[in-house]
Amino acid sequence: MPIRLRKFLGTIALLVLVTAWALVAMALAQAPAIHDSTALSIAYYVIAGLGWVLPAMPIVAWMSRPGVSNQ
């Protein structure tokens, strides 16, 4: 697969991932246990804010692989 196409598809996948992650994180943040406790709320937002990086790493690694050489 050409690198330009791989980067385009990876960009679309990252946008979908971040959008879905944000929507799920916002929905879970409304849980009474998280919403009522300040300490739990802070911990949740730190984990949810950094948590999308782990699923994004394989996508970025796939995007950065060398492309097909035209010989």
What band does 71 get if pLDDT is binned at 50, 70 and 90? low
Torsion of CA 7, 60, 22, 46, to 10 degrees: -150
Domain extent at residue 49: 3-63
As for how many domains the chain has, the answer is 1
Structural domain contains residue 29: yes
Helix, strand, coil percent values for the chain (each to nearest 5): 80, 0, 20
32-60 average pLDDT score? 92
Structural domain contains residue 50: yes
Whether 67 shows a pLDDT value over 80: the answer reads no
Q: What is the pLDDT, as a whole number, of residue 70?
A: 59
Burial class for 4, CB neighbours closer than 10 Å (0-12, 13-18, 19+): exposed
CA pair distance 38, 52, nearest whole angstrom: 22
Question: Over the stretch 9-26, which tens digit does the pLDDT of each residue have?
Answer: 999 999 999 999 999 999
Q: What is the pLDDT, as a whole number, of residue 40?
A: 92
Structural domain contains residue 70: no
Structural domain contains residue 69: no
